[in-house]
Structure 1
Amino acid sequence: MTTHMSHPMHGPNKFKLGVFSMNADGGLTLTKVPERWPARWSEITEVARMADRAGLEFLLPIARWKGFGGEMNSREWSYETLTFAAALAGVTERIAVFSTVHVPMVHPVFVAKALATVDHASNGRAGLNIVCGWNPEEFAMFGLDMIENRYEQGLEWFEIVQRIYTATEPFDFEGKFYKLKNVSGQPAPVQRPRPVTLNAAFSPPGRDFAARAADFLFTTFTEIEKGREPIGDMKRRALEQGRDVGVYTTCHVVCRPSQAEAEDYYEFYASTMADQASVDHYMGQKEKFAHSHEADAYRLHRKRFAGGAGTYPLIGTPEHIAEEMVRMSEVGFAGTTISFVNFKDELPYFLENVLPLLQRAGLRVA
């Protein structure tokens, strides 16, 4: 194992859970409903503490520099993720605090020091979600062109971070993307040799990158059973590198006492009240540049993009949602992220009603 064993991602629960995207307005949704997540700091800390007390494993932010247009311009209001993780480290005790970092936008020497800072502030609970970038509008904000071989750059970037953490003396780095002199950096992180890493890749080059740089891959699917293919593929690629990479998925949740109530609300916020211009823009950019979903996802599942950025919908009663998670575990997923229209309003019901069912199913310990 390459990481500190006390990290929550290596904890005892068979099926792990993380709260995703609460650092940005709207969360993962592109909706106009008045109760959409405002991403106020006071409410973010409240949800973080709630998730921590309930024993969830991780808090995962999205890295966004620009909104997605339309009426709401969702995700324009978002907190930078290294400082976000450092701040949440101070108000939580057990839960992992991840940072999501765009390789081209943030220099590896800076990331190495910032991430080590979070790891010390959290006593070994830091994590890094490495994103090689897909959004040309955000690249343009930084005066960058979007290059084809982004994963090649990502591997150089990752190697530099790793070397800073393990080098016993200053080193020079001569690569295609980085030419660095006399590099060093203390303190090393609490986790040795480095904090836990994630990557959300769908394309073959992306999965090759994850096989070398990630401890866990996050992937999407249109149907749970179809998850077997990316899990098997990822395991094979990791094995070729002499590594084991766990595979997670990502979901948006509407959990209500009755199935009809949950489905009615999903239809309301993700269809009737969808920010249609924003959905068009987001889906167009994703399909053209990100390669993060199955091809038919864009055609079949517009509602899923308005409802939760194209992630899998968990819509229904606590029993239905628990059953779906059992199926995910059976297919081979190590866990999932969850997101809501409003985290503060909706997470308590999920924790109170779904967690006991997952415990009963043997997926989580009490």
Structure 2
Amino acid sequence: MPVEFLGIAATNDGSEVTPRSGASFDKGYTLRLARAHEEYGWDRILFAYGSGSPDPSPAAAYVAARTDTIQLLVAHRPNVSYPTFAAKTFATLDHISDGRLGVHFITGGNDHEQRREGDFHPKDERYARTREYIRIVKKAWTSHEPFDHEGDHYRFHDFVSDTFPVQQPYPLVSFGGSSPAAYAAGGAEADVYCLWGEPLERTAEQIASVKAAARAAGRTDVPRI
């Protein structure tokens, strides 16, 4: 099984033990860190999402225009934008990066953090919404004909995009979560399923749950871990 090294695309020099020395989005620091990952052979860097943090998509666009090979994984919460809008945003970013984009869909495990941006859905419902959201984004990335959608969380008519990703059929879809609702959503839709670092026995159980969810969704493949 191939191993991929994933780093963090921090936008400032602050940490859990050290206050940052400048702005929350420090362009110089962001670029130096990204280029260091690229220079030393890391595969990919994650632009994380937080309710009060710099927006990861324009931060990734800034780095994409100034790097050559490092893959970019952009975290995205479905509650902050409509899926058709997100699909166009990420398709555009895939062009800016010359096909180096991946999207990490995060549902939000902390109710307080979610409510900061107006999301009051319970966790299981959030995962169901994320699954529907990813399906819409994928269809917007691949459909050249107008389509309608009538779902539990989204409804629209006659949408068609004129902006498609460089990567075909679409960029990497990454996902994370550690509950039955998460396994059902990510097992059905993700290319890569991310887990926390936990004891091996618990990790094996989670991998088995993801694979079972993928099979239940009718997939012939399973997400990479």
Distance 1:15 1:45 in 2: 25
Give secondary structure in 2 for the equivalent of 1:16. coil
TM-score under structure 2 length normalisation? 0.88
Q: 1:174-193 alignment to 2 at 5 Å?
A: 174-193=150-169
Q: 1:8-87 alignment to 2 at 5 Å?
A: 14-20=2-8, 22-23=10-11, 26=14, 29-32=15-18, 40-66=26-52, 78-87=53-62
Distance 1:205 1:236 in 2: 13
2:217 is the alignment partner of 1:242: no
- Give the deviation of 1:235 after TM superposition: 2.9
* Residue aligning to 1:98: 73
Distance 2:102 2:20 in 1: 33
C-alpha spacing 1:90/1:202, structure 2 compared with 1 (3 Å): same
Gaps of 5+ in 1: 1-12, 67-77, 248-366
* Residue aligning to 1:143: 118
The runs of at least 4 aligned residues of structure 1 exceeding 4 Å deviation read 32-39
Give secondary structure in 1 for the equivalent of 2:5. strand
Q: 1:250-265 alignment to 2 at 5 Å?
A: none
CA RMSD of aligned residues (A): 2.5
Deviations 1:77-133 (A, max 9, x none): x32111112111111111111211111122101110010011111111111000122
Distance 2:197 2:32 in 1: 31
Question: What is the aligned residue count?
Answer: 222
C-alpha spacing 1:25/1:106, structure 2 compared with 1 (3 Å): farther
C-alpha spacing 1:202/1:124, structure 2 compared with 1 (3 Å): same
Distance 1:171 1:43 in 2: 43
2:197 is the alignment partner of 1:209: no
Deviations 1:44-83 (A, max 9, x none): 10111111122211110211013xxxxxxxxxxx321111
Percent identity, aligned pairs only, is: 25
C-alpha spacing 1:206/1:23, structure 2 compared with 1 (3 Å): farther
Higher relative contact order (CA 8 A, sep 6+): 1
TM-score under structure 1 length normalisation? 0.56
Gaps of 5+ in 2: none
Give secondary structure in 1 for the equivalent of 2:208. helix
Q: Which structure has the bigger radius of gyration?
A: 1
- Give the deviation of 1:181 after TM superposition: 1.6
Contact kept, 8 Å, 2:144 with 2:161, in 1: the verdict is: no
2:157 is the alignment partner of 1:171: no
